[in-house]
Amino acid sequence: MSALLQVTGLAVSYGHIEAVKGIDLVLHAGEITALVGANGAGKSTALLAISGLLKASRGAVLFDGVDLTKLAPHQIVARGVVQVAEGRAILTTLTVAENLALGTYARKDKSGVAADLEWVYALFPVLRSRRDGLAGNLSGGEQQMLAIGRALMAKPRVLLLDEPSMGLAPLMVQEIFRILKEINLTGLTILLVEQNVRQALKIAQRGYVLETGKIVLSGSGQDLLDDPKVVEAYLGG
Ligand code: ATP
């Protein structure tokens, strides 16, 4: 198994408060890695530092031999590390198709765009049927699909997701996790940040548990699901 992206000693502070306290993570090529933990554990902060939207105070994020903490967010996207934002961040006054087109701005291979659009519409048929409608008229779950679709249009090599299940009805949560697995089966490497610990670990090959800014447990998704500490703290056991 080769490490596609490696986080070492990553720390991030808000003023004097260190929210992420020196974490190590490895994303293996083609795997889903879940970063789970309670509200406020520092998951979003870690993800924002990987995508360059927050500055790391210490540590490195190595991808293709380059330390991403030294790059600007647009340079990180151009290298193929693309984040689907929490709260979706789609543009509600643009159409579905226009939102998807926004994902392609950093691409140099314009020829592949049409094929990827077909793939995204095949993954999310509702986006095809609503493509000329305003994104603001989509349901919450459909907006999450659009946010994922837009990130896929950037042709990522690593997809970073921040709580894609947040605020969605249970059936929609199931559907989103099913589609993430389908996307992963095409070979795409995914880092999935979730409070929905059970669902995330179920689809992840590897997982890390974050508590108050530190990794306290790691292992295969199944090992963590079976771990008594995880069961007790996160699975209502
Ligand atoms: P959630 O699931 O709620 O997003 P999380 O695990 O992603 O939780 P973070 O949002 O990364 O956690 O927050 C980690 C810590 O940093 C928390 O104590 C939070 O209060 C604090 N924090 C987050 N954003 C800021 C900010 N902009 N300024 C100051 N402190 C912040």
pTM of the predicted model, to two decimals? 0.94
Give mean pLDDT, residues 31-44.
Answer: 95
Give the closest residue (by CA) to ligand 1 atom 26: 14
47 lines ligand 1 (CB under 6 A): no
Torsions phi, psi of 31, nearest 5? -105, 160
CA distance 115 to 120: 9
How many structural domains is the chain composed of? 1
Give the closest residue (by CA) to ligand 1 atom 17: 40
How does residue 81 score in pLDDT terms, banded at 50, 70 and 90?
Answer: very high
Q: Is the model's pLDDT at 237 over the cut of 70?
A: no
Give mean pLDDT, residues 3-12.
Answer: 97
Boundaries of domain holding 197: 3-234
Do 112 and 159 touch, CB atoms closer than 8 A?
no
Give mean pLDDT, residues 212-222.
Answer: 97
Q: Given CA atoms 135, 142, 104, 89 in this order, what sign does their dihedral have?
A: positive
165 lines ligand 1 (CB under 6 A): no
Other residues' Cβ atoms within 10 Å of the Cβ of residue 178: 11
How does residue 1 score in pLDDT terms, banded at 50, 70 and 90?
Answer: low
Buried/exposed 121-149: b ≥16 CB within 10 Å, e otherwise: bebbeebeebeeeebeebeebbbbbbbbb
The predicted pLDDT at position 87 comes to 58
What CATH number should be reported for the domain holding residue 131? 3.40.50.300
Least confident window among 34-48, 108-122, 205-219: 108-122
Q: Which residue, 210, 88, 107, 209, is CA-closest to 157?
A: 107
Top mutation candidate among 10, 12, 14 for ligand 1, by most atoms within 8 Å of CB = 14
How does residue 18 score in pLDDT terms, banded at 50, 70 and 90?
Answer: very high
187 alpha carbon – ligand 1 mean position (Å): 31
| Summary mean pLDDT of the chain | 94
225 lines ligand 1 (CB under 6 A): no
User: How does strand 32-36 pair with strand 58-63?
Assistant: unpaired
